[in-house]
């Protein structure tokens, strides 16, 4: 049985309590992130995803309920000041958060704050740049502002990765990137999990994009988790996805219609190929091709 690295219990978070701007962003969230898994948190804008993940390294503290990270309650005294070492949090559009003169120095900022010696911090930064697929020889000495948007995003992710966190949390890491850039990010996350056992929490509204990557999916709507489970399981519950304001992949909609029409297929196909095989099998055809 794998351990939970992050546990949220009845988590409630209210922005600006007691003012006309009061917003109940999280309304009783229960969620676990298991060791070494990739968990995708999906939901429409304003569903509370970003607020939720900012609790995972103590950036936000619960209004009520609690969050435990590696067994430690985030409201424990001094916990938020330590948690950034364990849980790397990549905020939205991290490419706008770079500030050092060179890419290398920027990526080494975190390791230096860990207390590593300059040489060690440098090595860590070079490793992180390579890990995200940037060529250190090419980009290390450049100004972050001279890189293209996609590369700058990768450099920013490297800046968090360089902390070697046990859990990596990314808020919309692929938003606004071209398809190749998106695939690069998703491949990177899959490799991190595989090679380093890093648990990855991925916030996104691109459900289809993360199907192959995520071991589990949690669907959020109006500050609550409305559905969770393995991707196939969640996909087969198209009604709940639509209620959460998410786009249900075309293949899944087709399979659901077939199920409703009495054709013996399973609704939760993750890829087009799988859907084709299901349909071909149900109609007694030789499937999986074309």
Partner 1 sequence: MLDAITFGQYVPARSFLHGLDPRTKVLGVLALGGSVLAAGSALELLAVLAVTALAVSASGVPLKLYARAVLPLKYILAAAFVVQALASPGGQVIWAAGRFSVTAGGLTGAAFVLARVLLLLTAASALTFTTPPTRVAAAVEALLSPLKKLGVPAAELSLAMTVALRFIPVLLDEAQLLLKAQRSRGAGAAGRGPVKWAQLTVSLLVPLIAGAIRRAEELAVAMESRGYRPGAARTRLLELKMQKRDAAVLALLGALFLGTVLWGG
Report the first-to-last Cα separation within the chain, whole angstroms: 40
23-34 vs 199-204, strand pairing mode: unpaired
Separation of CA 216 from chain center = 11
Given the complex with partner 1, which of 151 and 236 has the nearer CB atom? 151
Given the complex with partner 1, which of 99 and 283 has the nearer CB atom? 99
Nearest-approach distance from CB 59 to partner 1, in angstroms:
5
Nearest-approach distance from CB 70 to partner 1, in angstroms:
16
Q: Which two tokens stand for residue 128?
A: 């992180």
Given the complex with partner 1, which of 59 and 226 has the nearer CB atom? 59
Nearest-approach distance from CB 90 to partner 1, in angstroms:
8
Nearest-approach distance from CB 275 to partner 1, in angstroms:
39
Closest CA to 13 of 43, 42, 57, 50: 50
CB atoms within 10 A of CB 288: 12
- Rounded CA-CA distance 191/272 in Å is 23
Nearest-approach distance from CB 163 to partner 1, in angstroms:
7
- Rounded CA-CA distance 207/258 in Å is 22
Place of tokens 């080494």: 108
Taking CA atoms, 60 is separated from 33, 54, 66, 70, 91, in Å, by 18, 6, 11, 17, 13
Given the complex with partner 1, which of 107 and 218 has the nearer CB atom? 107
Interaction site with partner 1 (CB under 8 A): 16, 18-21, 54, 57, 59, 81, 84-85, 88-89, 91, 94, 96-99, 109-110, 113-115, 145, 159-160, 163
Given the complex with partner 1, which of 54 and 236 has the nearer CB atom? 54
């Amino acid at each position: 049985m794998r351990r939970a690295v992050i546990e949220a219990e009845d988590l409630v978070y209210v922005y600006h309590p007691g003012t006309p701007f009061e917003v109940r962003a999280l309304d009783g969230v229960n969620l676990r992130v298991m060791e070494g898994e990739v968990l995708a948190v999906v939901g429409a804008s304003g569903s509370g995803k970003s607020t939720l993940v900012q609790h995972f390294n103590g950036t936000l503290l619960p209004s009520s309920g609690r969050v435990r990270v590696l067994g430690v309650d985030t409201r424990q005294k001094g916990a938020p000041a330590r948690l950034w070492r364990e849980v790397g949090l990549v905020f939205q559009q991290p490419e706008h958060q770079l500030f050092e003169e060179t890419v290398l120095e920027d990526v080494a900022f975190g390791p230096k704050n860990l207390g590593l010696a300059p040489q060690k911090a440098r090595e860590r930064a070079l490793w992180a740049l390579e890990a995200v697929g940037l060529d250190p020889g090419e980009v290390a000495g450049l100004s972050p502002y001279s890189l293209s948007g996609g590369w700058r995003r990768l450099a920013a992710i490297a800046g968090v990765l360089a902390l070697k966190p046990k859990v990596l949390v990314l808020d919309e890491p692929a938003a606004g990137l071209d398809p190749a850039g998106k695939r690069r990010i998703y491949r990177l996350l899959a490799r991190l999990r595989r090679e380093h056992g890093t648990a990855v929490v991925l916030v996104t509204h691109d459900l289809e994009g993360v199907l192959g990557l995520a071991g589990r999916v949690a669907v959020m709507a109006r500050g609550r988790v409305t559905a969770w489970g393995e991707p196939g399981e969640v996909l087969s519950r198209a009604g709940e996805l639509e209620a959460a304001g998410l786009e249900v992949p075309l293949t899944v909609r087709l399979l659901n219609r077939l199920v409703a029409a009495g054709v013996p297929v399973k609704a939760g196909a993750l890829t087009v190929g799988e859907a084709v095989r299901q349909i071909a099998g149900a109609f007694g055809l030789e499937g999986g091709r074309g």
